[in-house]
Amino acid sequence: MNETPSRSAAHDDLAGPIKAHDNLGRPTTPDSWRLTALGVLGGGLLLGDRAAASGLGRRAVALTAGVAGAWVASIMLASRRPPIPPASVGEGAPVPAAGPTFTVLVAARDEAGVLPNLVADVARQTYRDSAGEPCFELLLVDDRSTDGTAAAVAEAAAQEGIAEVTRLVRRDGQDLPDGKGAALTAAQPEACKGDIVVVLDADARIGPSFLATLAAYFRAGASAVTARRRVLNAGGSNLAGAQADEQTLDGELQRGRWALGGCSEFRGNGIVIRRDLLAEVGGWRAEALTEDLDLSSRVAAATGIRVVWAVDAELWEEPVPDWGGLFRQRLRWAEGGIRRAFELGPRVLASDRLPLPAKVDFGLYVGQLAVAPLLLGLIGGSLRRGRTGVGLAFVAIYGLMGGTLAFDALRWETAPGGRPLSRPERVWRAGRVALFNGLWLAAIPGAMWRLATRKGPVGYDKMAHGTAPPAEPIRPGTTGG
């Protein structure tokens, strides 16, 4: 089936101006963005180096420590009082007559090895009416797969008894834009039947009450929600464990931003949004390298709606198995964040739908992209001049911020057997995440350099899936407080 629903001109205007394309219509990088990225990268390195040379470093350390400490404390406190508390869902309770209904949307390319697991998880959802009929559909975008992805999904859906609520859309063509955001354009809001659209990655795993938990948030007034991302087999290696705890830290950070009135954001695996709201802001865009950040900013700018963080709506995903793949993933995430800042940042800051605290939050959060080159310049300048104390102080502040937030967020985690993590376990895992986050000090400057220098259409580094997940993820008993 070949299907690419069209969008109106009004939708295209809301979706954002198209900045640059090649002669095949694929998105490229405007020259102004290239120059700006080089300016931020070079300027940050130079400014950091000059600060180290001028003796301003010690005063900068004191100021940074004070601001960072206040910010971390505010996030930790706010994350404990979310505007919508975790839902209480009766397992297997029938769906209220008012709904809502769901479209579970998956864009996949050559994912025949993992998608049958997700199909089985969708089939086991308890979100059904009083007659036991599903109040959801599964919609797969097969993005030019050559490994039989569509056939694997169709076979799994038939075996699991949800063939009647499973639809397949084939995206075909030469020289099409790459990436998840581009693939999702084949399933614009008008192609979805559910009231709520849930976007999952091909390697996602969900428990039986996943949709029922999400429904409770929408009945409580949410319009846009992100699920809590977990990592499969997190105990298998330190690399997998660090990725798992990084997701937990990110959840605390975004939940705190949401509670403080800031511009909290989607994460790509587990985007959940009202279909009419998705249509209002223009649907999916092929230009978006990171579709989650792109959609978050368009929703915030156009409507003032912030993303709800549902810590009890849990999904599992595979870890990136090696450092090379992990760094490529983080380069893409960082470049997507930079592109979002250049294209949509002015619109968010100028929006008349957002209050001042939300704009300040957005500005500070996006501004952290400039911190990495500045910090590298200051560390390098300090070490080069023998002022190691200043460089080490900034490294310590950076690590302590992430480590403190991670330690606090790990209250959501449990050890095997369901017992709470001990204090030493939380300290160890928080320290591991703090070290792991140093990867961003290389990824963000690397993404700036890549954005500024790489020619041709925007590149998308697809992650390989295929590690064997458990047959059924086990949902921990704690959901955080």
pLDDT score of 24 = 59
pLDDT score of 1 = 39
pLDDT score of 199 = 98
pLDDT score of 3 = 41
Of 148, 138, 262, nearest to 200 by C-alpha is: 138
pLDDT score of 175 = 82
User: Over the stretch 277-335, which tens digit does the pLDDT of each residue have?
Assistant: 999 999 999 989 999 999 999 999 999 999 999 999 999 999 999 999 999 999 999 99
Cβ atoms of 205 and 125 closer than 8 Å: no
pLDDT score of 477 = 42
Q: Which residues of the chain have pLDDT under 70?
A: 1-19, 21-25, 55-58, 88-94, 459, 467-481
Beta-bridged to residue 106, according to DSSP, are: 140, 200
Give the domain ranges of the chain.
102-358
DSSP H or E stretch at residue 146? none
| Residues present in the chain in total | 481
Q: Does domain 102-358 have CATH number 1.10.10.60?
A: no
- CA-to-CA distance for 26 and 457, rounded, in angstroms? 6
The DSSP output letter for 189 is: G
What's the pTM value of the predicted model, to 2 decimals? Answer: 0.90
Cβ atoms of 270 and 228 closer than 8 Å: yes
